[in-house]
Amino acid sequence: MGSFKPLVFSGVQPTGNLHLGNYLGAIRKFVALQESHDCIYCVVDLHAITAQLVHDDMATQIRSIAAAFIASGIDPQKHIVFNQSAVPQHAELAWIFNCVARIGWMNRMTQFKDKAGKDRENASLGLLAYPSLMAADILVYRATHVPVGEDQKQHLELTRDIAQKFNIDFQRRIEMTGHAVEMVVGEEHINGYFPLTEPLIEGPAPRVMSLRDGTRKMSKSDPSDLSRINLMDDIDTIAKKIRKAKTDPDALPSEVEGLADRPEADNLVGIYAALLEKSKADVLAEFGGRQFSEFKPALAELAVSVLAPVNAEMRRLMSDTSQIDAILHDGADRARVLAEKTMADVREIIGFI
């Protein structure tokens, strides 16, 4: 009996502009993990139709996420970059997981509650089943590690619940068909077909907050564009958004403890630290006692120096779609082979002929 090979999977939805939260909370971690792991990075276009069905520019959105991956330093030759709908095994496994997961589990998801709003009865069935497709994305490769921002934590706990329930419900058939793999969970050794995936949430910026309200997450769906820095923003726009960012009247503290109850100051210092790959304490050692009027221009300059090269490379890639399309096709071809192997096992475990 083998054990699970470490494998990283993560996904980004092609909905709206990618922003600094996506970049610092997710994409930068994707880039770093390439050194130590085999990685699969997916543009999750099937997820993008759950909240809004019709998108006039879906193809452009898909390409722009792939371009952001590559411009940020993901190597599509050594690793795999593709779009979800090109590998139908994701949807096939999601259907099976729809029958493993319970409606109550889905109803408890805070993202479903937020996105569905007051009129839950009128949300698409896809929006309710969203986490089941997400579990399928990860488990169709039997991925062991998933780098994400903090907002995806609950979905990843549900992914583990689905894997565990499948392993238990089909325990006898998994053993009978010779597909059991041993894994260590805490102190225990257990057998199953799907790994219990580890979320990788820690990092310099697991939760980047809105520039307009330090208590709310920076989000693609915030109606105010001033609330976020988009990867495609030009230099002047980045500088303007930082200049207009909400702050309080006090100078920056010298110690991290001084950021408590100052959500906007905490967020801007956190962004500065993450961009520089240093700690908040390091940033405050330099800027403690200084006013925002001095800190904001430094932050704008740093943000531009990090984002401008990514932005320029994204624009170059987007100007000739043939290169991005070739990368996505090649990635999907390689992903399909891996996903089909899992699906062949799963069909055998269930007893489909």
The catalytic site residues sit at 115, 217, 220
Residue 47 in contact with residue 111, Cβ under 8 Å? no
- Cβ distance to ligand TYM smaller for residue 26 or 158: 26
Beta strand 38-43 with 7-12: parallel, antiparallel or unpaired? parallel
- Cβ distance to ligand TYM smaller for residue 26 or 62: 26
Q: Assess 214 for contact with ligand TYM (CB under 6 A).
A: no
Q: Assess 225 for contact with ligand TYM (CB under 6 A).
A: no
Q: Assess 72 for contact with ligand TYM (CB under 6 A).
A: no
Contacting residue, 44, 93, 163, 174, with ligand TYM by CB under 6 A: 44
- Which region, judged by CB under 6 A, interacts with ligand TYM, from 7-15, 50-58, 72-80, 264-272? 7-15
Strand order in the sheet with 80-83: 80-83, 38-43, 7-12, 145-147, 198-200
Residue 269 in contact with residue 278, Cβ under 8 Å? no
Q: Provide the mask over 116-145, with x wherever binding to ligand TYM is found by CB under 6 A and - wherever it is not.
A: ------------------x--xx-------
Closest distance between ligand TYM and the C-beta of residue 14, in Å? 8
Q: Assess 21 for contact with ligand TYM (CB under 6 A).
A: yes
Closest distance between ligand TYM and the C-beta of residue 10, in Å? 4
Q: Assess 204 for contact with ligand TYM (CB under 6 A).
A: no
| CA–CA dist 44, 15 (Å, integer) | 10
Contacting residue, 39, 148, 268, 304, with ligand TYM by CB under 6 A: 148
- Cβ distance to ligand TYM smaller for residue 180 or 242: 242
Contacting residue, 8, 68, 101, 146, with ligand TYM by CB under 6 A: 146
- Cβ distance to ligand TYM smaller for residue 111 or 237: 111
Provide the H-helix boundaries in the chain: 20-22, 28-33, 45-51, 58-72, 89-100, 103-107, 110-116, 125-139, 153-169, 171-176, 235-244, 263-276, 280-287, 292-319, 321-350
- Cβ distance to ligand TYM smaller for residue 134 or 265: 134
Contacting residue, 142, 160, 179, 217, with ligand TYM by CB under 6 A: 217
| CA–CA dist 261, 265 (Å, integer) | 9
Closest distance between ligand TYM and the C-beta of residue 231, in Å? 12
Q: Cα dist. 155→106, 151, 190, 207 in Å? A: 9, 8, 23, 16
| CA–CA dist 248, 84 (Å, integer) | 43
| CA–CA dist 129, 107 (Å, integer) | 9
Residues between 268 and 307 with contacts to ligand TYM, criterion CB under 6 A: none
Q: Assess 208 for contact with ligand TYM (CB under 6 A).
A: yes
Q: Assess 218 for contact with ligand TYM (CB under 6 A).
A: yes
Q: Cα dist. 267→103, 107, 124, 262, 295 in Å? A: 36, 31, 34, 9, 13
Q: Phi and psi of 44, rounded to 5°? A: -90, 80
Residues between 300 and 319 with contacts to ligand TYM, criterion CB under 6 A: none
Residue 46 in contact with residue 85, Cβ under 8 Å? yes
Tell me the one-letter amino acid at 20: L
- Cβ distance to ligand TYM smaller for residue 179 or 228: 228
- Chain residues binding ligand TYM by CB under 6 A are 9-13, 21-22, 25-26, 44, 47, 134, 137-138, 146, 148-149, 151-152, 155, 205-208, 217-218
